[in-house]
Amino acid sequence: MSDRYIVLRRKERRLQRRRKHSKKRIRLAPDRPRMVVYRSNRHIYVQIVDDFNRRTITGCSSLTPVVREKLNGAQTKVDQAKVVGEHIALLAKGKGIEKVAFDRNGCKYHGRVKALVESARSGGLKV
Protein backbone atom coordinates (compact mmCIF):
# COMPACT_ATOMS: atom_id res chain seq x y z
CA MET A 1 0.00 0.00 0.00
CA SER A 2 1.20 3.45 -0.80
CA ASP A 3 1.47 6.24 1.72
CA ARG A 4 -1.14 8.24 -0.17
CA TYR A 5 -3.71 5.47 0.30
CA ILE A 6 -3.03 5.32 4.03
CA VAL A 7 -3.40 9.10 4.37
CA LEU A 8 -6.72 9.04 2.49
CA ARG A 9 -8.06 6.24 4.69
CA ARG A 10 -7.04 8.17 7.81
CA LYS A 11 -8.81 11.32 6.54
CA GLU A 12 -11.96 9.32 5.76
CA ARG A 13 -11.97 7.78 9.25
CA ARG A 14 -11.62 11.22 10.85
CA LEU A 15 -14.50 12.57 8.77
CA GLN A 16 -16.70 9.61 9.73
CA ARG A 17 -15.90 10.18 13.41
CA ARG A 18 -16.78 13.88 13.18
CA ARG A 19 -20.04 13.06 11.37
CA LYS A 20 -21.04 10.55 14.03
CA HIS A 21 -20.19 12.98 16.82
CA SER A 22 -22.14 15.88 15.29
CA LYS A 23 -25.20 13.71 14.52
CA LYS A 24 -25.45 12.63 18.18
CA ARG A 25 -26.15 16.21 19.18
CA ILE A 26 -29.02 16.73 16.74
CA ARG A 27 -32.42 16.28 18.31
CA LEU A 28 -34.82 14.75 15.85
CA ALA A 29 -38.31 16.18 16.12
CA PRO A 30 -41.22 16.10 13.69
CA ASP A 31 -41.55 19.90 13.74
CA ARG A 32 -37.81 20.41 13.10
CA PRO A 33 -36.50 18.85 9.88
CA ARG A 34 -32.77 18.52 9.43
CA MET A 35 -30.78 20.99 7.28
CA VAL A 36 -27.81 19.03 5.93
CA VAL A 37 -24.79 20.75 4.39
CA TYR A 38 -22.28 19.14 2.06
CA ARG A 39 -19.20 21.07 1.02
CA SER A 40 -17.00 20.04 -1.90
CA ASN A 41 -13.91 21.86 -3.07
CA ARG A 42 -15.84 23.89 -5.65
CA HIS A 43 -19.49 23.90 -4.62
CA ILE A 44 -21.76 23.84 -1.58
CA TYR A 45 -24.98 21.85 -1.30
CA VAL A 46 -27.79 22.03 1.26
CA GLN A 47 -30.92 19.92 1.75
CA ILE A 48 -33.78 20.00 4.20
CA VAL A 49 -34.65 16.43 5.13
CA ASP A 50 -37.66 15.01 6.97
CA ASP A 51 -36.25 12.05 8.90
CA PHE A 52 -39.61 10.73 10.05
CA ASN A 53 -41.04 10.34 6.54
CA ARG A 54 -37.59 9.67 5.07
CA ARG A 55 -37.78 12.19 2.27
CA THR A 56 -36.05 15.33 1.11
CA ILE A 57 -38.32 18.35 1.43
CA THR A 58 -36.21 20.80 -0.55
CA GLY A 59 -32.64 21.50 -1.49
CA CYS A 60 -30.37 23.73 -3.49
CA SER A 61 -26.70 24.22 -4.28
CA SER A 62 -24.33 26.60 -5.94
CA LEU A 63 -25.18 24.73 -9.17
CA THR A 64 -28.92 25.47 -9.03
CA PRO A 65 -29.86 27.67 -12.05
CA VAL A 66 -31.60 30.34 -9.96
CA VAL A 67 -28.61 30.61 -7.64
CA ARG A 68 -26.13 30.66 -10.54
CA GLU A 69 -27.85 33.74 -11.94
CA LYS A 70 -27.22 35.56 -8.65
CA LEU A 71 -23.56 34.49 -8.44
CA ASN A 72 -22.23 36.24 -11.58
CA GLY A 73 -19.13 34.02 -11.57
CA ALA A 74 -16.57 36.36 -9.96
CA GLN A 75 -17.32 35.87 -6.27
CA THR A 76 -15.55 33.97 -3.52
CA LYS A 77 -16.84 30.64 -2.26
CA VAL A 78 -17.96 32.27 0.99
CA ASP A 79 -20.12 34.69 -1.02
CA GLN A 80 -21.54 31.75 -2.95
CA ALA A 81 -22.45 30.06 0.34
CA LYS A 82 -24.26 33.21 1.48
CA VAL A 83 -26.38 33.24 -1.67
CA VAL A 84 -27.19 29.53 -1.25
CA GLY A 85 -28.19 30.16 2.39
CA GLU A 86 -30.56 32.95 1.39
CA HIS A 87 -32.08 30.76 -1.31
CA ILE A 88 -32.64 27.76 0.98
CA ALA A 89 -34.36 30.08 3.48
CA LEU A 90 -36.73 31.23 0.72
CA LEU A 91 -37.44 27.65 -0.34
CA ALA A 92 -38.08 26.57 3.25
CA LYS A 93 -40.42 29.50 3.89
CA GLY A 94 -42.30 28.56 0.72
CA LYS A 95 -42.80 25.03 2.09
CA GLY A 96 -43.96 26.37 5.47
CA ILE A 97 -40.82 25.48 7.42
CA GLU A 98 -39.80 27.91 10.14
CA LYS A 99 -37.38 25.88 12.29
CA VAL A 100 -34.65 23.43 11.26
CA ALA A 101 -31.98 21.41 13.06
CA PHE A 102 -28.58 22.12 11.52
CA ASP A 103 -26.47 19.12 10.52
CA ARG A 104 -22.97 20.25 9.58
CA ASN A 105 -22.15 16.73 8.36
CA GLY A 106 -18.70 16.58 9.94
CA CYS A 107 -17.54 19.97 8.62
CA LYS A 108 -16.14 22.58 10.94
CA TYR A 109 -18.46 25.49 11.72
CA HIS A 110 -16.46 28.24 10.03
CA GLY A 111 -15.92 29.70 6.58
CA ARG A 112 -18.47 28.61 4.00
CA VAL A 113 -20.58 26.52 6.38
CA LYS A 114 -20.88 29.38 8.85
CA ALA A 115 -21.71 31.87 6.08
CA LEU A 116 -24.46 29.60 4.76
CA VAL A 117 -26.10 29.16 8.16
CA GLU A 118 -25.90 32.84 9.07
CA SER A 119 -27.49 33.88 5.77
CA ALA A 120 -30.23 31.28 6.25
CA ARG A 121 -30.87 32.79 9.70
CA SER A 122 -31.02 36.27 8.25
CA GLY A 123 -33.47 34.90 5.65
CA GLY A 124 -35.88 33.95 8.43
CA LEU A 125 -35.02 30.35 9.34
CA LYS A 126 -34.58 29.46 13.00
CA VAL A 127 -31.53 27.22 13.10
**Residue 21 is assigned to a structural domain of this protein:** yes
Q: What is the CATH number of the domain that holds 107?
A: 3.30.420.100
Q: What is the mean pLDDT of the chain?
A: 90
**Residue 62 is assigned to a structural domain of this protein:** yes
Higher local confidence (pLDDT), 11 or 120: 120
- Summarize the confidence of residues 96-114 as an average pLDDT: 91
**Residue 53 is assigned to a structural domain of this protein:** yes
pLDDT value for 96: 94
Q: Cα separation of 57 and 16, whole Å?
A: 25
**Residue 95 is assigned to a structural domain of this protein:** yes
Q: What percent of the chain has pLDDT over 70?
A: 96
**Residue 110 is assigned to a structural domain of this protein:** yes
pLDDT value for 84: 96
**Residue 9 is assigned to a structural domain of this protein:** yes
DSSP string, the chain: --HHHHHHHHHHHHHHHHHHHHHHTPPPBTTB-EEEEEE-SS-EEEEEEETTTTEEEEEEETTSHHHHHHH-S-S-HHHHHHHHHHHHHHHHHHTT--B-EEE-TT--SSTHHHHHHHHHHHTT-B-
Domain residues for 115?
3-122
Provide the number of structural domains found in the chain: 1
**Residue 127 is assigned to a structural domain of this protein:** no
Neighbours of 65 (CB within 10 A): 7
**Residue 69 is assigned to a structural domain of this protein:** yes
What digits encode the pLDDT tens for the residues 73-99? 668 999 999 999 999 999 999 999 999
Q: Cα separation of 36 and 108, whole Å?
A: 13
pLDDT value for 26: 75
pLDDT value for 123: 94
